[in-house]
Amino acid sequence: MNLEKARAALKKYFGYDSFRPLQAEVIEAIYEKKDVLLLMPTGGGKSVCFQIPAITLEGTCIVISPLISLMKDQVEALRANGIRASFLNSSLSYSEQQQVENDLFNGHLDLLYTSPEKMASQEFLPLLRSSKISLFAIDEAHCISAWGHDFRPEYRQLRFLKKTFPNVPVIALTATADKLTRKDIVVQAELQQPEIFIASFDRPNLSLEVRPGRKKMEQIIEFIEKRPNQPGIVYCLSRKSTETLAEKLRENGINAAAYHAGLDDSTRPKVQEDFINDKTTVICATIAFGMGIDKGNVRWVIHYNLPKNLEGYYQEIGRSGRDGSEADTLLFYSAGDVAMLREFISEGDSQHREIQLAKLDRMHQYATALICRRKILLNYFNETMLENCGNCDVCKNPPKDFDGTIIAQKALSAVSRLQEQVGTGMLVDVLRGSKSYNLLSNGYDKIKTYGAGKDVRQEDWFFYLEQMMNQGLIEIAYDDHSKIKLTNASKSVLFDGQKVQLVQAEVQKARKEEEAAKIPSRTKRTSERQRVRDELFEHLRQLRLDIARKKGVPPYIVFGDATLEEMAAERPTTEADFSLISGVGEQKLREFGRVFLDGIQEFLLAKKDEGMRIAGSTYLETFRLYKQGASVDEIAAQRGISPVTVFSHYAYLYEKGENINIWTFLTKTDAQRVANILQNMEPPYKLQEVFLALNEEVAYEKIRLSIALYNKHKH
Ligand code: ADP
Ligand code: ZN
């Protein structure tokens, strides 16, 4: 078996032109009958690594997966691509199970998804033995290891696979990175000299951004309003806050729902399902949400509070952009969150306290970082990245240092004169010389530094104070009404001339402005072309939703966002062009090609009616009239173009694979004569040269059609 076959299958069944990193290598190893351990982040494309061998090798690939709830969708997605797949688990009736088992025995399946329990059951083994098995794929393979975060004892029984089927390769797949688990998987599954592939954990399509956690509600609403109809998740710390937030969003006209473990058994799955099916756009959830959800088109994730550690954070933002299209992530950071989490941990059991605190520190460092955030993340997962990523807020607006000694001195001096008795808000008021009642009634307007920081904007002061805190120049006493306290370091600034470097607040401002002007993926693009593209995307999304509802499947099973995006950009008008779109395999071309082509055509014609000039639409209009049965002369008259132009449209459409019957206008003899001439010419062919070479005996429009015919069959 060779890679060419694999590549052809990738195109035919999935509509993809090339393999992603490591996919080809993994497939090759399987073709060589080697055992494989594959570590790849969510969305990296693990499934293709066993699905392509499953399709191309003789026999059935058995996929063992712990999540019964996902099997149905996975199988449905495969079937939508024309792949023979089924699943076998306790959710099927007895007769349904029989049917699937017969299919397996008779070699009618490329893939069979099943649970570890079923695999280990005594009655299933004889069937497995008497069927032709090409490959075993152990999905979520970390479940086999007690070191992993999701140990499932039933997975342990899978060690019988290699014992019973020593000649069938096993591929173990997981998105869990840690080394211990990795080793343990190999041991527990008894993989034989496995090839181990570790993909980068980088997810370049996820943008990273951290903002100060002030006026979060306002910011979230603004963020969502810039991304209409884009599915997203807001992660909150408490059940209560998921509900309040969802409520607030709904009051602002946003289609939002809350999700947490406390919902009753009938509501919870419904909330989840509505999100998967694009019926609910925004979910406000605790971190309980997301496990076992396979939704590719989550376009953004917001963290309302700081997560406990980077593992959790990365996993949660990783639920966006699984389809590979751009997705935005936003984390709100506040020093208060850090203090609260620290308290939680300190109250917890002592055994892991130190580790948890260290992890929280790393999270804190990430949130306040002034270097490329992705570097920090990947570094945390033991990967080094040399270049800056260009897709995080720090890269987009690199911080500018300046000598902040005077600013720091003013602040510290005020803290000192206020006898460390006020919090940040009052401190800033004093520095800016506010006349608030509270301030005046405390007599704070009498201290020497009152109004000394008037020239610095209020929000900039917050930004500087936060930096001072991160540099250890001040401390916040969370146990004493969050009053600001001096430290040893502050004393050296106040009394020993210690210099302070700060990052300019202008950068913060620039970031905000950039966000405001941000050209969100498919909303507020400036150029007309972009606008049309966004509208078309929306049109196609609606079409997809209609089709999905009619078929009773999640929309992504019809087409992924990336595929719709490409359609909106390329605006294919013919089946041939349509099949070039990534994600359009043969089955989907047959099943949905016409509907989407019509959708695109309809949209473009409507735009044209609005007076917009759209490339390609002139052909479409000719084609529309042609399909209505109009003659060349009628089309020419109606459209105000010459009959020759109509013929050239026909030629174009025909060459692109549209159903134009050129033989109405052309004889085989003429076509052959033209072909003979073309054989000795170099493209692009000049009509006049051909015309002259044929002694002016064949009319121009016939030559035009013959060239189309010639081109089409040459390819
Ligand atoms: P994982 O199981 O690693 O989370 P998936 O196998 O679900 O990832 O793949 C993630 C997405 O990437 C899916 O939409 C899948 O169809 C797509 N994909 C996989 N391989 C390719 C490829 N070679 N080219 C384009 N898209 C791909
Ligand atoms: Zn970066």
> Which positions ≥6 away from 88 have C-beta within 8 Å?
97, 100, 101, 104, 112, 113, 114, 115, 118
- Contact status, residue 376 vs residue 369, Cβ threshold 8 Å: yes
- Report whether residue 40 contacts ligand 1, using a CB cutoff of 6 Å: yes
What CATH fold (topology level) applies to the domain 3-198? Rossmann fold (3.40.50)
Model pLDDT, residue 605:
82
> Which positions ≥6 away from 433 have C-beta within 8 Å?
445, 450, 451, 452, 454
Exposed / middle / buried, residue 79 (Cβ in 10 Å: 0-12, 13-18, 19+):
middle
Q: Is the pLDDT of residue 438 over 80?
A: yes
Q: Is the pLDDT of residue 317 over 70?
A: yes
- Give the pLDDT band of residue 522 (cuts 50, 70, 90): very low
- Contact status, residue 472 vs residue 489, Cβ threshold 8 Å: yes
Model pLDDT, residue 150:
74
- Contact status, residue 38 vs residue 177, Cβ threshold 8 Å: no
Within 78-150, strands assigned E span 85-88, 111-114, 133-138
Mean pLDDT of the chain: 89
Q: What is the location of CATH 1.10.10.10 in the chain?
A: 401-503
- Report whether residue 318 contacts ligand 1, using a CB cutoff of 6 Å: no
Q: Stretch 599-606: mean pLDDT, rounded?
A: 87
Q: pLDDT tens, 59-85?
A: 999 999 988 888 988 999 999 999 999
Cα gap 429→476, rounded to integer Å = 17
Q: Is the pLDDT of residue 469 over 90?
A: no
Give the β-pairing of 401-403 and 501-503: antiparallel
Query: Could you say which ligand is closest to the alpha carbon of residue 376?
Result: 2
- Give the pLDDT band of residue 147 (cuts 50, 70, 90): confident
Residue, of 90 and 254, whose pLDDT is higher: 254
Flag the least confident range among 266-270, 342-346, 495-499. 342-346
CA of 552 to the centre of ligand 1 (A): 23
Phi, psi angles (nearest 5°) of residue 531? -65, -45
- The answer to whether domain 535-713 has CATH 1.10.150.80 is yes
User: How wide is the angle at C-alpha 39 spanned by C-alphas 33 and 41, nearest 5°?
Assistant: 135
Question: By percentage, how much of the chain surpasses pLDDT 90?
Answer: 55
Cα gap 197→421, rounded to integer Å = 57
The CB density around residue 242, as the number of other CB atoms within 10 Å, is 27
Model pLDDT, residue 507:
55
The distance between the two most distant Cα atoms of the chain, rounded to a whole number of Å, is 105
Place of tokens 């019926």: 279
Q: For the chain, what is the total number of helices (H) and then of strands (E)? A: 35, 17
- Report whether residue 205 contacts ligand 1, using a CB cutoff of 6 Å: no
Q: pLDDT tens, 210-219?
A: 998 888 999 9
Q: What is the DSSP letter of 682?
A: P
Q: pLDDT tens, 167-195?
A: 999 999 998 767 778 888 999 999 999 99
Q: Which tokens hold the place of 209?
A: 């951004």
CA of 448 to the centre of ligand 2 (A): 42
- Report whether residue 658 contacts ligand 1, using a CB cutoff of 6 Å: no
Query: Could you tell me the pTM of the whole model?
Result: 0.69
Place of tokens 């992603």: 20
> Which positions ≥6 away from 673 have C-beta within 8 Å?
694, 698
Question: By percentage, how much of the chain surpasses pLDDT 70?
Answer: 95
- Report whether residue 140 contacts ligand 1, using a CB cutoff of 6 Å: no
- Give the pLDDT band of residue 518 (cuts 50, 70, 90): low
Within 500-542, strands assigned E span 501-503
Q: Is the pLDDT of residue 498 over 80?
A: yes
Q: What is the location of CATH 3.40.50.300 in the chain?
A: 3-198, 206-393
Model pLDDT, residue 525:
42
CA of 373 to the centre of ligand 2 (A): 5
| Helix (H) / strand (E) containing 330 | strand 327-333
> Which positions ≥6 away from 479 have C-beta within 8 Å?
none
Model pLDDT, residue 241:
93
Model pLDDT, residue 521:
45
Q: Is the pLDDT of residue 609 over 80?
A: no
**Which residues are 332's β-sheet partners?**
211
Cα gap 571→536, rounded to integer Å = 9
What CATH fold (topology level) applies to the domain 401-503? Arc Repressor Mutant, subunit A (1.10.10)
- Contact status, residue 318 vs residue 177, Cβ threshold 8 Å: no
- The answer to whether domain 206-393 has CATH 3.40.605.10 is no
- Report whether residue 296 contacts ligand 1, using a CB cutoff of 6 Å: yes
Q: Which tokens hold the place of 550?
A: 């009619």
Coil, helix or strand at residue 93: coil
Q: What is the location of CATH 1.10.150.80 in the chain?
A: 535-713
The CB density around residue 227, as the number of other CB atoms within 10 Å, is 19
